[in-house]
């Protein structure tokens, strides 16, 4: 611990993002980095506490508490404080394959469990993590690390999202011959098409890492949809083991009157179309576009926020985000103690931009949609919403109940369903005959990752359900270790 009084001497400081009205005019990332001296001061705030909850990686009350990949955060905070950036990068890569991804898109459960955060603003762990890895790329310290020898064993990884990439890199470094199959036209999965460019730059950040993985010897096959144009059983025949990392991409639908109207879309279809158009050089040519439209985003969470930010950049006329839950409190409630993830009100980047553009937070709470209304041509024109209150039913469960007299017609030519995901798509799983759990996820125990089929492993959202990028990396690493034990006997 370099400075025992650092958490007393220095206040929490984060870099100032680009101004909202400026950044909605382009698709570039908007998070800058602090200068080195100020970053070292932030590293000094780490207390080197006796029990560092920041890297426990536990689920408490169903939410992540601490870092799921168990980053040794106090160590690299201290190294940054002392100016030992290369050593800090080594510590960071020891547990996290892709800190440039988590340093940008992770909600930082580590900070929610920071011991300093009990009564002071927590350490800026996420900003320091991002700064370490970017320093590593700038200095040329992040280089391909191909294995010295090969085992001759061949492994197929299905899906190139964070879980698939982590599994592939770990298995490749163990000496196995790894082929990653991706159904989209570019590798990256969720990282490429599910997260907008302003949060995670595709060419400068995602492609940079893909190129390094290829240089390490990993083979990527795109437009390879296993169970469709690639026969799953042949895959099992040609490879010694398979790791399934297909994500939980089955969206939750809203079966209401007017659902089939033009203009009602799943959030991920909207986000994917936008990023694909941007990468093809024509951001304005997305087939699902918000330009000049009244947009309603149904659902919160990161996906809902990304729909808000994307709609603003496309030039929507107005924007409302419908949330069925109540507005969170400004401070932790007594039922949400440290080190749980703090469920408090905040303006995420999309809502901050909407407030700057239209004058207020676009979210309306304790509200749900009851009907989609269209014109004679089958085009969405408006939605009908109603306020709700949460009450317990006969079985003691909290359920939303409509408040009489609160119906409201809201203009909408584009409605985006961002209500989460139900689990993995089933055709591949049925083709392989894999057992699934009650939530339709692949049945495979955490820590073992072995499915009901010998030599087939599962990791990430397809196994655990919709979750964070950092959990996917953790599971990809774990599944790779389990797969390696299967192949090598140890």
Q: What is the pLDDT of residues 225-279, one digit of tens each?
A: 998 999 999 999 999 999 999 999 999 999 999 999 999 999 999 999 999 999 9
Q: What is the pLDDT of residues 77-106, one digit of tens each?
A: 999 999 999 999 999 999 999 999 999 999
- Third-level CATH fold of 253-419: FAD/NAD(P)-binding domain (3.50.50)
| pLDDT above 70 (res 208) | yes
How big is the chain, counted in residues? Answer: 490
Mean pLDDT across the chain, nearest whole number? 96
Distance (Å, rounded) from C-alpha 414 to C-alpha 265?
8
Average pLDDT, integer, range 70-83 = 96
Q: What is the pLDDT of residues 444-474, one digit of tens each?
A: 999 999 999 999 999 999 999 999 999 999 9
Average pLDDT, integer, range 40-69 = 91
Give, for 364, the enclosing helix (H) or strand (E).
Answer: strand 363-364
What was the pLDDT predicted at 432? 92
Would you give the DSSP letter of residue 367?
E
| pLDDT above 80 (res 4) | yes
Domain range list for the chain: 6-139, 154-249+422-488, 253-419
Average pLDDT, integer, range 331-338 = 92
| Residue 354 phi, psi (nearest 5) | -65, -40
Distance (Å, rounded) from C-alpha 269 to C-alpha 288?
8
User: Which SS3 state, helix, strand or coil, does residue 87 take?
Assistant: helix
What was the pLDDT predicted at 3? 85
Task: Give the DSSP per-residue string, 191-211.
Answer: IIIIS-TTTS-IIIIIHHHHH
What was the pLDDT predicted at 1? 66
The owner of tokens 């955490």 is 446
Two domains, one topology: 154-249+422-488 and 253-419: yes
Domain 6-139 CATH class label = mainly alpha
- Third-level CATH fold of 154-249+422-488: FAD/NAD(P)-binding domain (3.50.50)
Contacts with 415 (C-beta within 8 Å, 6 or more apart), sequence order: 263, 264, 265, 295, 296, 298, 369, 372, 380, 383
Q: What is the pLDDT of residues 417-437, one digit of tens each?
A: 999 999 999 899 999 999 999
């Amino acid at each position: 611990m370099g400075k025992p009084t650092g958490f007393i001497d220095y206040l929490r400081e984060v870099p100032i993002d680009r101004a909202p009205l400026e950044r909605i005019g382009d698709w570039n990332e908007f998070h800058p980095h602090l200068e080195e001296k100020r970053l070292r001061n932030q590293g000094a705030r780490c207390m080197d506490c006796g029990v560092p909850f920041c890297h426990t990686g536990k689920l408490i009350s169903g939410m992540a508490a601490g870092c799921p990949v168990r980053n040794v955060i106090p160590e690299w905070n201290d190294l940054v404080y002392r100016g030992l950036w290369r050593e800090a990068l080594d510590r960071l890569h020891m547990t996290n394959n892709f800190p440039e991804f988590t340093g940008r898109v992770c909600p930082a459960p580590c900070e929610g469990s920071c011991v300093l955060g009990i009564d002071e603003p927590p350490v800026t762990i996420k900003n320091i993590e991002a700064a370490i890895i970017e320093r590593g790329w700038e200095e040329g310290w992040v280089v391909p690390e191909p294995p010295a020898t090969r085992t001759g064993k061949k492994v197929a990884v299905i899906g190139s999202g964070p879980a698939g990439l982590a599994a592939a890199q770990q298995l490749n470094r163990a000496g196995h011959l790894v082929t990653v199959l991706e159904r989209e036209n570019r590798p990256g999965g969720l990282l490429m098409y599910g997260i907008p460019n302003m949060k995670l730059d595709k060419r400068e950040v995602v492609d940079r890492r893909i190129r390094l993985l290829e240089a390490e010897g990993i083979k990527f096959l795109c437009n390879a949809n296993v169970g469709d144009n690639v026969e799953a059983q042949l895959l099992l025949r040609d490879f010694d083991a398979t790791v399934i990392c297909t994500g939980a991409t089955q969206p939750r639908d809203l079966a209401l009157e007017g659902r089939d109207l033009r203009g009602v879309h799943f959030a991920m279809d909207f986000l994917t179309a936008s990023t694909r158009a941007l990468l093809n050089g024509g951001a304005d040519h997305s087939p699902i576009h918000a330009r000049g439209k009244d947009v309603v985003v149904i659902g919160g969470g990161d996906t809902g926020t990304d729909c808000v930010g994307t709609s603003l950049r496309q030039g929507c006329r107005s924007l409302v985000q419908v949330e069925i839950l109540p507005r969170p409190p400004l401070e932790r409630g007594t039922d949400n103690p440290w080190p749980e993830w703090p469920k408090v009100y905040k303006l995420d980047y999309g809502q901050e931009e909407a407030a700057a553009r239209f004058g207020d937070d676009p979210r309306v709470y304790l509200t749900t949609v009851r009907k989609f209304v269209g014109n004679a041509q089958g085009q969405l024109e408006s939605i009908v919403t109603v306020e709700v209150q949460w009450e317990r039913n006969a079985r003691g469960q909290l359920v939303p109940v409509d408040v009489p007299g609160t119906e409201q017609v809201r203009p909408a030519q584009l409605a985006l369903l961002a209500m989460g995901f139900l689990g993995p798509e089933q055709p591949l799983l049925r083709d392989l005959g894999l057992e699934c759990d009650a939530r339709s996820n692949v049945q495979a125990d955490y820590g073992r990752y072995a499915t009901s089929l010998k030599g087939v492993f599962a990791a990430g959202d397809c196994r655990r359900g919709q979750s964070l990028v950092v959990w996917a990396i953790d599971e990809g690493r774990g599944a790779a270790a389990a797969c390696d034990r299967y192949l090598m006997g140890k």
